[in-house]
Structure 1
Amino acid sequence: MTLTTKGALLWEPGTKSGWSVEEIELDPPKRGEVLLKLAASGLCHSDAHLDTGDIPLPFAPVLGGHEGAGVVQEVGPEVHDLQPGDHVVTTFLPSCGTCRWCSSGMGSMCDVGAGVLGGKAPDGTNRIHSGGKPVGAMSFLGTFSPYVVAPITGVIKIDKDIPLDKAALIGCGVPTGWGSAVHAAGTEVGDTVVVVGTGGVGVNAVQGARLAGASTIVAVDPVAFKREMAEELGATHSASSLEEATELVRGLTVGVMADRVILTAGVGYGNLVGPCGFLTRKGGTLVITSAAPALQGQVDLNLLDFVMSGKRLQGSLYGSCNARVDVPKLIELYRRGDLELDRLVTRTYALEEINQGFADMDAGRNIRGVILFD
């Protein structure tokens, strides 16, 4: 039976028109799907990119949100590993477990996940409607609603002792940042790591670098409160600009520069890459995790320096994580007290306050804003 609820819709992606909270209808779960009642949804910059047009959408309207956690209410046909009452985290990128990429341990490259911005469910239809019109769902999910019909490839079961409002962050921002340091950058014990941009993703790159054993971690952000939070969570030094960071790292390393540099700024503009390249030592790795505007075709990078110094440029989607393995790992790190989640939530919002939440993000007031549902 169709469920009537509410959700935050984007009717004109790319126009900065903001989100409209209104009534929506959800179809019941079909084969391989579950109905979730969410406790919380994170406000991620990826959803803001839909509003600004940095990430183009072929479908509108769209129900935003992809970083959530909740409880299974109903399961569709051929769902065997989940049942009502189970607690789950939604994942930004689903993993089918059987395609070439999943079978190779590269779950973030899953063939099913390649369609998350298409506006439809994996079977090519829509579960969401508003005023009789089909509505797309961000990442096959749409967590800007208290109820979600999600494919089982996009949810991970977790233990019931983990607070759902904190577990929601493990849907995107935490693994994206943590994995950027641990997987994509390959941080090793004793490394010097620079994280450029320490918001909801970058601060977790700091945590990842710390957990991987980096001895020096430099957090770069123009916002003082973000630098302070990064230092509380593992950064040994901070800088307010790339210029300041370059001089700082040169002094700390006696001119060698950083083993790993991770770009996690809110928007990955091409002019940020060159300075990050100069921060990277000979033979070092520069990781780009930031989402760039879709039409960003030019990058400022000194190719002679990069080639002659044997540096590596590494793109990273979802922190190069394998959600089926890494989400339980992150949950266990949180349970042991090694991974901070609670303090990442700067402010919580009602769904009707979603536009204020994104305004706070743009103004640099939040590490992570979180929508709480009843």
Structure 2
Amino acid sequence: MSYQARAAVLREYGGDVTIETIEVDEPADNEVLVRTAACGVCHSDLHFKQGAMPHFPVPTVMGHEAAGVVEKVGKNVRDLQPGDHVVACNTIYCGTCKQCLYGRPHLCLDRMGPAARRPKGSSPRLSANGEKLIPFTDLGGFAELMLLPERAVVKIDKDIPLDRAALIGCAILTGVGAALNTAKIEPGSRVAVFGCGGIGASIIQGARIAGAREIFAVDIVDSKLEQAKGFGATTTIDSSKTNPVSAIRDQCGGVDYAFDAVGSTDLLCKCFSSLGPRGTAVLVGAIPAGEKLEIEARGFLGGERSITGSMMGSNRFKLDVPYYLDLYRQGRLDLDSMISARRPLDELNDAFTVMEGGAALRTVITF
């Protein structure tokens, strides 16, 4: 048995997505069929659409920041049942490799293994007219139905609106997690965030939750800088008019943590240059394949500065998702203001156009 669903399919890099009716297979033993309620539009989707992530093949059902309601479960699934509300996450883990056992499932060494993929020779999860379709990052959230591995979802309480819950699956896990899990910002620290879109706004909130004394928000869009104040930024810098590194160093001598929320070698260099002694620059944004970083080596020696990456906020999403939703309930994490627009699936290409223009904080496709 299979199910029909409307979905956004990308068939060639650089092209528009097409809204097609696809076939969704019956759940296998360890899979869950989810009726999608909402899926956020992330810069990673745009990077992939533009061809900057060629390690993901086409044709692809796009989308990865999704939440929905369980429709059906495979026979070996014990923790979920039809009617459950869930958030999807693409850091699917095996649970038995060295990294998983160390408590780092986001770095699972068997990420592409049986926990995430069907065995060779199996029928595809998604197809159209007999052609196999690849769900983007194993999720494929821009579709009315998602067929997901059990370890790609976490159950949430039903009091959380699903359009807000969807943001947890990428923007919040990545941004708040970069602040709390990867950098482990200490209370009283100074922080700079370069890029104040959905990820940057989440990092700012994470820094505020961690107790940062000063948070610099850097962007070139006035509306995003104004929104950054509401999320916790104490100082905003329009980098189209002011050198952000000079402004930061003039004000405090250098920050303890600086985050590149966009995925740009230029911004990562600026992050590094804005650090004080023993400061850490964190690459959070999805950087295009093949990009190289050039930094004067003495910058590492003088002041003992460092650079690190953050993979999806170093998340343990089965633990982090409920935690972040508790913060939302308590009014300490603002998900409501993160959503700049809600659009139907048919307007996904328009949402990408708005994102390219830099105006959107987070557009959510709702079903």
Q: TM-score, normalised by structure 1?
A: 0.94
Runs ≥4 residues deviating over 4 A? none
Structure 1 residue 115: Cα displacement: 6.8
Q: 1:241 to 1:114 in 2, by over 3 A?
A: farther
Q: Which residue of 2 aligns with 1:348?
A: 342
Q: Which residue of 2 aligns with 1:212?
A: 210
Q: Is residue 3 from structure 1 mapped to residue 3 from structure 2 by the alignment?
A: yes
Residue of 16, 19, 22 corresponding to 2:20: 22
Shift of 1:251: 2.9
Contact 1:185–1:262 (8 Å) recurs in 2? no
User: Please, which of 265, 273, 290 is the counterpart of residue 268 of structure 2?
Assistant: 273
CA distance in 2, matches of 1:7, 1:210: 37
Q: 1:112: how far off?
A: 4.1
Give unmatched runs, 5+ long, in structure 2: none
Whether contact under 8 Å (2:56, 2:136) holds in the other structure is: no
| Aligned partners of 1:272 and 1:300 also within 8 Å | no
1:100-142 per-position Cα deviation (integer Å, ceiling 9, x unaligned) = 21221112112343579xxx83535520001210000012110
Unaligned runs of 5+ in 1: none
SS in 2 for 1:201: helix
Q: 1:123 aligns with which of 97, 107, 119?
A: 119
Contact kept? 1:10, 1:64, Cα under 8 Å: yes
Determine helix, strand or coil for the equivalent of 2:331.
Answer: coil
Q: 2:297 aligns with which of 287, 299, 303?
A: 303
Paired residue type of 1:121: R
The question of whether the paired residues in 2 share the 8 Å contact of 1:263 and 1:288 is answered with yes
- Following superposition, the deviation at residue 293 of structure 1 comes to 1.3
Looking at structure 2, the residues matched to 213 and 361 of structure 1 have their Cα atoms a distance apart, in angstroms, of 31
The correspondence for 1:338, drawn from 322, 332, 337, is 332
| 2:163 maps to 1:165 | yes
Contact kept, 8 Å, 2:182 with 2:310, in 1: the verdict is yes
Equivalent pair of 1:6/1:21 in contact (CA under 8 Å): yes
Matched residues in 2 for 1:167 and 1:95: separation? 21
Query: In structure 2, how many angstroms separate the alpha carbons of the residues matched to 1:82 and 1:274?
Result: 45
- Match status 1:365 vs 2:359: yes
Other structure's SS at 1:217 match: strand
Equivalent residue number for residue 289 of structure 2 = 294
2:181 matched residue in structure 1: 183
1:95-110 to structure 2, matched below 5 A, reads: 95-110=93-108
Q: Hey, what's the Cα distance between the residues in 2 that align with 1:214 and 1:55? A: 34
User: 1 CA distance for matches of 2:79 and 2:282?
Assistant: 35
The TM-score normalised by the length of structure 2 is: 0.95
Question: Which has the larger displacement, 95-104 or 148-157?
Answer: 95-104
1:279-338 deviation per Cα after TM superposition (whole angstroms, max 9, x unaligned): 011111110112111111x21312112222211111111011111111111011011111
Cα distance in 2 between the residues matched to 1:121 and 1:241: 43
Asked whether the 8 Å contact 1:26–1:129 carries over to 2, the reply is yes
Pair 11,99 (structure 1): closer, same or farther in 2 beyond 3 Å: same
How many residues were matched structurally?
363
Q: How big is the alpha-carbon RMSD for the aligned residues of Structure 1 and Structure 2?
A: 1.6
1:53 aligned onto 2:51: yes
Q: Distance in 1 between matches of 2:196 and 2:213?
A: 18
1:122/1:140 contact within 8 Å kept:
no
Identity %: 39
Separation in structure 1 between the aligned mates of residue 56 and residue 188 of structure 2, nearest angstrom: 45
Q: Which residue of 1 aligns with 2:245?
A: 246
Q: Could you say which residue in structure 2 is the equivalent of 1:264?
A: 261
- CA shift in 2, pair 1:122/1:271, >3 Å: farther
Q: Cα offset for 1:273?
A: 2.4
Q: Which residue number corresponds to residue 31 of structure 2?
A: 33
AA at the equivalent of 2:255: A
Question: Which residue does the alignment assign to 2:87?
Answer: 89
Amino acid in the other structure paired with 2:278: G
CA distance in 2, matches of 1:10, 1:292: 20
Residue number in structure 2 paired with 1:282:
277
Residues 51-60 or 70-79, more deviating: 51-60
